[in-house]
Protein backbone atom coordinates (compact mmCIF):
# COMPACT_ATOMS: atom_id res chain seq x y z
CA UNK A 1 0.00 0.00 0.00
CA UNK A 2 1.29 3.46 -0.93
CA UNK A 3 1.43 5.56 2.24
CA UNK A 4 3.16 8.53 0.57
CA UNK A 5 1.41 11.46 -1.17
CA UNK A 6 3.22 10.50 -4.39
CA UNK A 7 1.75 8.40 -7.18
CA UNK A 8 3.38 9.33 -10.49
CA UNK A 9 6.73 10.31 -11.93
CA UNK A 10 5.37 13.83 -12.24
CA UNK A 11 4.75 13.92 -8.46
CA UNK A 12 8.29 12.79 -7.71
CA UNK A 13 9.81 15.20 -10.24
CA UNK A 14 8.04 18.16 -8.67
CA UNK A 15 9.07 17.05 -5.19
CA UNK A 16 12.70 16.49 -6.15
CA UNK A 17 13.00 19.92 -7.78
CA UNK A 18 11.56 21.58 -4.68
CA UNK A 19 13.90 19.64 -2.38
CA UNK A 20 16.97 20.35 -4.52
CA UNK A 21 16.25 24.06 -4.82
CA UNK A 22 15.32 24.34 -1.16
CA UNK A 23 18.59 22.71 -0.14
CA UNK A 24 20.53 24.98 -2.52
CA UNK A 25 22.33 22.07 -4.12
CA UNK A 26 25.21 22.75 -6.49
CA UNK A 27 24.98 21.39 -10.03
CA UNK A 28 28.33 21.05 -11.74
CA UNK A 29 28.70 17.39 -12.55
CA UNK A 30 26.63 16.98 -15.69
CA UNK A 31 23.40 18.79 -14.86
CA UNK A 32 22.83 22.51 -15.16
CA UNK A 33 19.84 22.88 -12.85
CA UNK A 34 17.52 21.12 -10.43
CA UNK A 35 15.06 20.02 -13.13
CA UNK A 36 17.75 18.27 -15.19
CA UNK A 37 19.26 16.51 -12.20
CA UNK A 38 15.90 15.45 -10.79
CA UNK A 39 14.81 14.04 -14.15
CA UNK A 40 18.09 12.18 -14.57
CA UNK A 41 18.04 10.63 -11.11
CA UNK A 42 14.40 9.59 -11.35
CA UNK A 43 14.74 8.06 -14.81
CA UNK A 44 17.95 6.27 -13.91
CA UNK A 45 16.51 4.91 -10.66
CA UNK A 46 13.43 3.59 -12.45
CA UNK A 47 15.61 2.17 -15.26
CA UNK A 48 13.81 4.24 -17.87
CA UNK A 49 15.39 5.80 -21.00
CA UNK A 50 17.29 8.90 -19.94
CA UNK A 51 16.15 10.89 -22.97
CA UNK A 52 12.42 10.19 -22.66
CA UNK A 53 10.76 11.86 -19.69
CA UNK A 54 7.42 12.94 -21.17
CA UNK A 55 5.94 9.49 -21.92
CA UNK A 56 6.42 8.46 -18.29
CA UNK A 57 5.35 11.60 -16.42
CA UNK A 58 1.91 10.26 -15.53
CA UNK A 59 2.90 6.63 -15.06
CA UNK A 60 1.58 5.28 -11.75
CA UNK A 61 4.45 3.81 -9.77
CA UNK A 62 4.66 0.85 -7.44
CA UNK A 63 5.19 1.54 -3.75
CA UNK A 64 8.71 0.09 -3.83
CA UNK A 65 9.58 2.24 -6.86
CA UNK A 66 8.45 5.37 -5.05
CA UNK A 67 10.42 4.38 -1.96
CA UNK A 68 13.55 3.80 -4.05
CA UNK A 69 13.31 7.18 -5.78
CA UNK A 70 12.67 8.99 -2.49
CA UNK A 71 15.76 7.36 -0.99
CA UNK A 72 17.86 8.63 -3.91
CA UNK A 73 16.44 12.14 -3.59
CA UNK A 74 17.15 12.13 0.15
CA UNK A 75 20.73 10.96 -0.33
CA UNK A 76 21.41 13.68 -2.89
CA UNK A 77 20.11 16.31 -0.45
CA UNK A 78 21.44 15.03 2.86
CA UNK A 79 24.90 13.90 1.72
CA UNK A 80 25.42 16.54 -1.02
CA UNK A 81 27.04 13.77 -3.06
CA UNK A 82 27.31 14.25 -6.84
CA UNK A 83 24.60 12.43 -8.77
CA UNK A 84 27.24 10.42 -10.63
CA UNK A 85 28.33 8.77 -7.39
CA UNK A 86 24.73 7.72 -6.75
CA UNK A 87 24.21 6.24 -10.21
CA UNK A 88 27.84 5.13 -10.76
CA UNK A 89 27.54 6.63 -14.20
CA UNK A 90 28.85 9.70 -16.02
CA UNK A 91 28.62 10.84 -19.61
CA UNK A 92 30.97 12.77 -21.89
CA UNK A 93 29.20 13.32 -25.19
CA UNK A 94 27.77 9.94 -26.14
CA UNK A 95 30.36 8.03 -24.09
CA UNK A 96 29.21 6.49 -20.81
CA UNK A 97 31.69 5.73 -18.01
CA UNK A 98 31.62 4.00 -14.66
CA UNK A 99 32.51 6.33 -11.79
CA UNK A 100 32.67 6.18 -8.01
CA UNK A 101 34.26 8.10 -5.13
CA UNK A 102 37.77 6.91 -6.04
CA UNK A 103 37.99 9.42 -8.89
CA UNK A 104 36.51 12.79 -9.76
CA UNK A 105 33.37 12.87 -11.86
CA UNK A 106 34.43 12.99 -15.54
CA UNK A 107 34.07 16.44 -17.06
CA UNK A 108 36.36 18.00 -19.61
CA UNK A 109 36.32 20.62 -22.33
CA UNK A 110 39.00 18.60 -24.10
CA UNK A 111 36.33 15.94 -24.63
CA UNK A 112 34.60 18.38 -27.01
CA UNK A 113 37.73 18.60 -29.18
CA UNK A 114 38.60 14.91 -29.52
CA UNK A 115 35.86 13.87 -31.99
CA UNK A 116 37.17 16.51 -34.42
CA UNK A 117 40.74 15.23 -33.93
CA UNK A 118 41.90 18.61 -32.59
CA UNK A 119 41.39 20.15 -36.03
CA UNK A 120 43.11 21.93 -37.65
CA UNK A 121 46.16 21.14 -35.55
CA UNK A 122 46.21 17.43 -36.45
CA UNK A 123 45.90 17.38 -40.26
CA UNK A 124 46.28 13.59 -40.62
CA UNK A 125 44.61 11.84 -37.66
CA UNK A 126 45.34 8.38 -39.07
CA UNK A 127 49.07 9.12 -38.81
CA UNK A 128 48.87 9.62 -35.02
CA UNK A 129 50.31 6.47 -33.50
CA UNK A 130 51.26 7.43 -29.94
CA UNK A 131 49.28 9.53 -27.44
CA UNK A 132 49.96 10.25 -23.78
CA UNK A 133 47.26 11.31 -21.37
CA UNK A 134 48.44 12.60 -18.02
CA UNK A 135 46.17 12.65 -14.94
CA UNK A 136 43.74 10.22 -16.54
CA UNK A 137 41.46 9.69 -13.52
CA UNK A 138 38.63 7.43 -14.69
CA UNK A 139 40.30 6.93 -18.06
CA UNK A 140 37.56 8.73 -19.99
CA UNK A 141 39.76 10.90 -22.21
CA UNK A 142 42.15 8.04 -22.94
CA UNK A 143 39.22 5.92 -24.12
CA UNK A 144 37.86 8.71 -26.31
CA UNK A 145 41.34 9.31 -27.75
CA UNK A 146 41.78 5.63 -28.58
CA UNK A 147 38.34 5.54 -30.19
CA UNK A 148 38.87 8.66 -32.32
CA UNK A 149 42.51 7.96 -33.28
CA UNK A 150 42.24 4.31 -34.39
CA UNK A 151 45.94 3.85 -35.19
CA UNK A 152 47.18 5.21 -31.87
CA UNK A 153 48.43 3.45 -28.79
CA UNK A 154 47.48 5.46 -25.71
CA UNK A 155 49.46 5.60 -22.48
CA UNK A 156 47.25 6.87 -19.63
CA UNK A 157 48.89 8.00 -16.41
CA UNK A 158 47.67 8.73 -12.89
CA UNK A 159 49.39 8.88 -9.53
CA UNK A 160 46.37 7.38 -7.76
CA UNK A 161 46.04 3.58 -7.77
CA UNK A 162 42.39 3.98 -6.81
CA UNK A 163 41.69 6.12 -9.86
CA UNK A 164 43.50 3.61 -12.05
CA UNK A 165 41.26 0.83 -10.74
CA UNK A 166 38.28 2.81 -12.01
CA UNK A 167 40.06 3.52 -15.31
CA UNK A 168 40.85 -0.19 -15.71
CA UNK A 169 37.16 -1.02 -15.46
CA UNK A 170 36.25 1.59 -18.07
CA UNK A 171 38.99 0.48 -20.46
CA UNK A 172 37.70 -3.09 -20.15
CA UNK A 173 34.12 -1.97 -20.71
CA UNK A 174 35.20 -0.48 -24.04
CA UNK A 175 37.41 -3.51 -24.81
CA UNK A 176 40.45 -1.30 -25.35
CA UNK A 177 42.95 -3.20 -23.19
CA UNK A 178 45.19 -3.77 -26.22
CA UNK A 179 45.38 -0.09 -27.10
CA UNK A 180 45.16 1.79 -23.79
CA UNK A 181 47.95 1.11 -21.29
CA UNK A 182 47.48 2.38 -17.73
CA UNK A 183 50.50 3.52 -15.71
CA UNK A 184 50.77 4.51 -12.07
CA UNK A 185 53.25 7.36 -12.22
CA UNK A 186 53.94 10.85 -10.95
CA UNK A 187 53.48 12.43 -14.38
CA UNK A 188 56.37 11.30 -16.64
CA UNK A 189 58.47 9.64 -13.93
CA UNK A 190 57.63 5.95 -14.43
CA UNK A 191 56.79 6.03 -18.13
CA UNK A 192 58.63 3.99 -20.76
CA UNK A 193 61.08 5.91 -22.93
CA UNK A 194 59.06 6.80 -26.00
CA UNK A 195 57.93 9.83 -27.98
CA UNK A 196 54.33 10.89 -28.41
CA UNK A 197 52.53 12.68 -31.23
CA UNK A 198 50.10 14.25 -28.76
CA UNK A 199 50.18 14.78 -25.00
CA UNK A 200 46.77 15.57 -23.48
CA UNK A 201 46.05 16.48 -19.88
CA UNK A 202 43.23 17.72 -17.70
CA UNK A 203 45.30 18.06 -14.51
CA UNK A 204 44.45 19.40 -11.04
CA UNK A 205 44.35 23.16 -11.61
CA UNK A 206 42.05 24.73 -9.00
CA UNK A 207 43.92 27.54 -7.22
CA UNK A 208 44.04 27.52 -3.42
CA UNK A 209 41.67 30.47 -2.99
CA UNK A 210 39.05 28.72 -5.13
CA UNK A 211 39.63 25.42 -3.34
CA UNK A 212 38.64 27.11 -0.08
CA UNK A 213 35.31 28.11 -1.61
CA UNK A 214 34.32 24.82 -3.26
CA UNK A 215 30.70 23.71 -2.72
CA UNK A 216 30.07 20.49 -0.74
CA UNK A 217 29.56 18.41 -3.90
CA UNK A 218 33.15 19.07 -4.99
CA UNK A 219 34.45 18.27 -1.53
CA UNK A 220 33.11 14.73 -1.99
CA UNK A 221 35.63 14.23 -4.80
CA UNK A 222 39.31 13.28 -4.30
CA UNK A 223 40.98 16.60 -3.55
CA UNK A 224 44.25 15.31 -5.02
CA UNK A 225 42.55 15.52 -8.42
CA UNK A 226 41.46 19.14 -7.99
CA UNK A 227 44.04 21.14 -6.02
CA UNK A 228 46.66 22.88 -8.15
CA UNK A 229 48.48 24.98 -5.58
CA UNK A 230 48.48 28.73 -4.96
CA UNK A 231 47.84 29.69 -8.59
CA UNK A 232 46.57 26.30 -9.79
CA UNK A 233 49.62 25.80 -11.99
CA UNK A 234 51.82 23.53 -9.80
CA UNK A 235 51.34 20.37 -11.87
CA UNK A 236 50.87 22.29 -15.11
CA UNK A 237 54.37 23.77 -14.75
CA UNK A 238 55.85 20.27 -14.38
CA UNK A 239 53.83 18.99 -17.33
CA UNK A 240 54.96 21.85 -19.57
CA UNK A 241 58.57 21.56 -18.41
CA UNK A 242 58.77 17.85 -19.22
CA UNK A 243 56.77 17.78 -22.44
CA UNK A 244 59.49 18.71 -24.95
CA UNK A 245 61.56 15.57 -24.41
CA UNK A 246 58.45 13.40 -24.66
CA UNK A 247 57.05 14.83 -27.91
CA UNK A 248 57.88 14.04 -31.51
CA UNK A 249 59.32 16.90 -33.55
CA UNK A 250 55.86 17.99 -34.72
CA UNK A 251 54.07 16.92 -31.53
CA UNK A 252 51.44 18.84 -29.57
CA UNK A 253 50.75 19.45 -25.90
CA UNK A 254 47.08 20.15 -25.08
CA UNK A 255 46.26 21.29 -21.53
CA UNK A 256 42.93 22.06 -19.86
CA UNK A 257 42.99 24.73 -17.15
CA UNK A 258 39.31 25.59 -16.75
CA UNK A 259 38.79 29.03 -15.25
CA UNK A 260 42.48 29.62 -14.55
CA UNK A 261 43.16 31.50 -17.79
CA UNK A 262 44.84 34.46 -16.12
CA UNK A 263 47.16 32.27 -14.06
CA UNK A 264 48.06 30.20 -17.14
CA UNK A 265 48.86 33.33 -19.11
CA UNK A 266 50.97 34.64 -16.24
CA UNK A 267 52.90 31.37 -16.06
CA UNK A 268 53.25 30.49 -19.76
CA UNK A 269 52.09 33.49 -21.79
CA UNK A 270 55.58 34.23 -23.07
CA UNK A 271 55.57 30.83 -24.80
CA UNK A 272 52.77 31.95 -27.15
CA UNK A 273 49.83 29.89 -25.96
CA UNK A 274 47.16 28.98 -28.52
CA UNK A 275 43.71 28.92 -26.92
CA UNK A 276 41.33 26.37 -28.39
CA UNK A 277 37.63 27.15 -28.70
CA UNK A 278 35.23 25.11 -26.54
CA UNK A 279 31.79 25.64 -25.02
CA UNK A 280 33.62 27.53 -22.25
CA UNK A 281 34.95 30.05 -24.74
CA UNK A 282 38.58 30.50 -25.72
CA UNK A 283 40.26 30.34 -22.32
CA UNK A 284 39.85 26.82 -20.95
CA UNK A 285 42.25 24.75 -23.08
CA UNK A 286 45.63 25.79 -24.44
CA UNK A 287 47.97 24.24 -26.98
CA UNK A 288 51.74 24.36 -27.33
CA UNK A 289 53.78 22.83 -30.15
CA UNK A 290 56.98 20.86 -29.68
CA UNK A 291 58.91 23.75 -31.23
CA UNK A 292 57.48 26.22 -28.73
CA UNK A 293 58.31 23.91 -25.85
CA UNK A 294 61.95 23.62 -26.96
CA UNK A 295 62.58 27.39 -26.84
Give yes or no: residues 150 and 185 share one domain. yes
- Residue-wise pLDDT for 10-26, tens only, equals 999 999 999 999 999 99
Question: What angle is formed at CA 169 by the lines to CA 176 and CA 53, rounded to 5 degrees?
Answer: 100
Q: 265 Cβ partners below 8 Å, 6+ apart?
A: 273
CATH number at residue 159: 3.40.50.150
Q: What is the reported pLDDT for 4?
A: 75
Residue 289 forms beta bridges with which residues?
A: 252
Beta bridge partners of 157: 134, 183
Which residue, of 53, 87, 121, is where some domain finishes?
87
Pair (83, 226) in one structural domain: no
Q: Is the pLDDT of residue 1 over 60?
A: no
DSSP 137: T
Instruction: Give yes or no: residues 200 and 124 share one domain.
Output: yes
User: Could you report the per-residue pLDDT of 206-260, keeping only the tens digit for each?
Assistant: 999 999 999 999 999 999 999 999 999 999 999 999 999 999 999 999 999 999 9
CA atoms within 13 A on the CB side of 15: 19
For residue 3, pLDDT beyond 70:
no
Identify whether 226 is part of a domain.
Answer: yes
Give strand ranges (E) for 59-121: 90-92, 95-97
Where are the extended beta strands (E) located within 24-166?
A: 90-92, 95-97, 130-134, 153-158
1 within some domain? no
As a whole number of angstroms, the distance between CA 150 and CA 259 comes to 31
Same domain, 171 and 227: yes
Q: Is the CB of residue 248 less than 8 Å from the CB of residue 196?
A: yes
| Residue 284 CB neighbour total at 10 angstroms | 24
The parent domain of residue 130 ranges over 92-294
Helix (H) or strand (E) holding 289: strand 281-289
28: pLDDT strictly greater than 70: yes
pLDDT in tens, 135-181: 999 999 999 999 999 999 999 999 999 999 999 999 999 999 999 99
Number of domains in the chain: 2
Same domain, 71 and 204: no
Final residue before a domain boundary, out of 70, 87, 104: 87
Q: Which residues pair with 97 in a beta bridge?
A: 90
In this structure, is residue 4 part of a structural domain? no
Q: 116: Cβ–Cβ under 8 A, 6 or more apart, which residues?
A: none
Which of helix, strand or coil describes residue 40? helix
CATH of the domain at 63: 1.10.8
Closest-CA residue to 7 (of 52, 65, 49): 65
**Domain edge (last residue) among 87, 108, 133:** 87
Which residues are bridge partners to 131 per DSSP? 154, 198
pTM (predicted TM-score): 0.94
For β-strands 90-92 and 95-97, DSSP reports them as: antiparallel
Asked if residue 282 and residue 197 are part of one domain, the reply reads yes
Amino acid sequence: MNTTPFTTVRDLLRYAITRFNGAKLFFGHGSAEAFDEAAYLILHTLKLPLDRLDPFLDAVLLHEEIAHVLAVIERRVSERVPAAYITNEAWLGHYKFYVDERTIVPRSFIAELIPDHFAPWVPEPEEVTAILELCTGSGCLAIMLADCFPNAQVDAVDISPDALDVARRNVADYQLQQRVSLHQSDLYAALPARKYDIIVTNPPYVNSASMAKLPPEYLKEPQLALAGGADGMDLVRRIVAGAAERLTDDGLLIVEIGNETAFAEAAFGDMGLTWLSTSAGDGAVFLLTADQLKL
